[in-house]
Amino acid sequence: MNVSCISQPFKVHRREPEIIRPAKATPHEVKALSDIDDQDGLRFHLPIIHVYPHNSSMEGVDPVELIRHAISKTLVFYYPFAGRLREVGPTRKLVVECSGEGVLFIEADADTTLHQSANSLIPPSPYLEDFLFNVRSSDGVLNSPLLLIQVTRLKCGGFVFTISFNHTMCDGPGLVQFMTAVGEIARGKQVPSIVPVWERHVLSARNPPNPTCSHPEYENNPTIPLPLKDLVQRAFFFESKQLSIIKKFIPPHMLPSSTFEILTSCMWKCRTISLQPNPTQIMRMICLVNVRKRFNPALLPEGYYGNGFLLSTVTSTAEDLVQNPLDYTLGLIKKAKNNVSEEYVQSAIDTLVSKGRPLFHVEGTYIMSDNMRLGYREIDFGWGNAIYGGPARVIPTMGSYLVPYQNTNGENGILVPLSLPIQAMDRFTKELKNLLKDNSPKCYV
């Protein structure tokens, strides 16, 4: 048994990683990913963390054993996850060889309770590597396991479920669908309530590709190294009172506006001020827009678990973001969301293929993802809803996301993590405090 020290206040004891294979034989075949799936910007592993409290009705049930067996049974239905990614041809097209090789699984125990460590488990957790051990070669894109899962028992009877997934295989909604199936089978179902559907060809480029819309996220992308030194991560907890204050800065004709639009506008403006860019620098906001239920009829079939979101980008000079009132930023965010039509979706796919599936533009970019209604917290392995469920970290300096959260005082709100150089983070916190006066959001460091 390996022992991992967490400097204080607790230790995590891990067993050796193991492979979980499908519970019975699955088809050995090759499946092509979509032209959205295999863009360079998704070729990484994304960690998700779920924290579950003790439940007296599950007394005597081992979450590790229960979830281990449920994963094996669920992989029969989601057998591509048990395969390995390969590149095909000069265009580096990604396919998954459904080989049944399995996913990585780690059993662990932590000598702490939720009461002692709850705030240290939510983003930005300094202990993420202990609750999701980076097994050697487990984070490769090609020829590597597509899922890495760790279940860590806590002394209080609760547990932490952490999973890292290859983002080319699925997005947040797709992962929630898979994890919901694991939970259903853990609770005794024989078949998931939503049958998984592959059909990645639905999101394929036209032949030949024919971009018809503007996609600044893929234009003129110089190789700019991210400032990775002196970075800090903080998570800001917004309750209804902070949202109400922000709304007071918005003129009536801009209302109603969604919580995502309002918070994204606030974060983008304060972040731009904190970075102190050249006033003429072009700043980009990339909104991740889920297209699953956006159109009628639906673009994607029920059960589709591939990447079903598009990047929609708006731009502004730094000077305009800083000097204009908040409704200027809000208008840009609304534009980014409204841009996404069915033709925009097809045009984005065509652009990706015609440009060789490039990484999105990095310089001056801020990315926001809406995780508020994906259902992470509602994934139930038998212990009920998670205290926290959702992404475990952000893209350094570039990304944030909105996720529902109930803090240790029982207050409900929205958690928004952020990563910035330390001096910029201090300026961001000050700017947010000035905006909200005496009602600054709680900050978790």
Give the integer Cα–Cα distance in Å for 382 and 375. 16
Task: Give the model's pLDDT for residue 375.
Answer: 95
369 CB neighbour count, 10 Å cutoff = 25
Collapsed DSSP state (helix, strand, coil) of residue 3: strand
Over pLDDT 90: what percentage of the chain? Answer: 76
Please report, to the nearest 10 degrees, the dihedral formed by the alpha carbons of residues 6, 7, 8, 11 taken in order. Answer: 30
CA distance 271 to 126: 22
Question: Which of the four pLDDT bands, split at 50, 70 and 90, describes residue 396?
Answer: confident
Tokens of 413: 């709100």
User: What stretch of H or E contains 269?
Assistant: helix 259-275
Q: Across all residues in the chain, what is the average pLDDT?
A: 91
Higher pLDDT, 121 or 189: 189
Over residues 310-338, the pLDDT tens digits come to 999 999 999 999 999 999 999 999 999 99
Structure-token match 């662990």, residue found: 108
* Residue keyed to tokens 């997934």: 165
Query: pLDDT of 25-78, one tens digit each?
Result: 999 999 999 999 999 989 999 999 999 999 999 999 999 999 999 999 999 999
pLDDT at 126 over 80: no
Residues acting as catalytic residues: 167, 380
Whole-number Cα distances in Å, 129 to 16, 19, 163, 377, 431: 15, 19, 12, 21, 31
Q: For 237, phi and psi rounded to 5 degrees?
A: -105, 110
pLDDT tens digit sequence for 230-259? 899 999 999 989 999 999 999 999 988 999
Q: Report whether pLDDT(5) > 60.
A: no
Q: For Cα atoms 360, 204, 305, give the angle at the middle one, nearest 5 degrees.
A: 80
> Does residue 409 have a pLDDT over 90?
no
pTM of the predicted model, to two decimals? 0.93
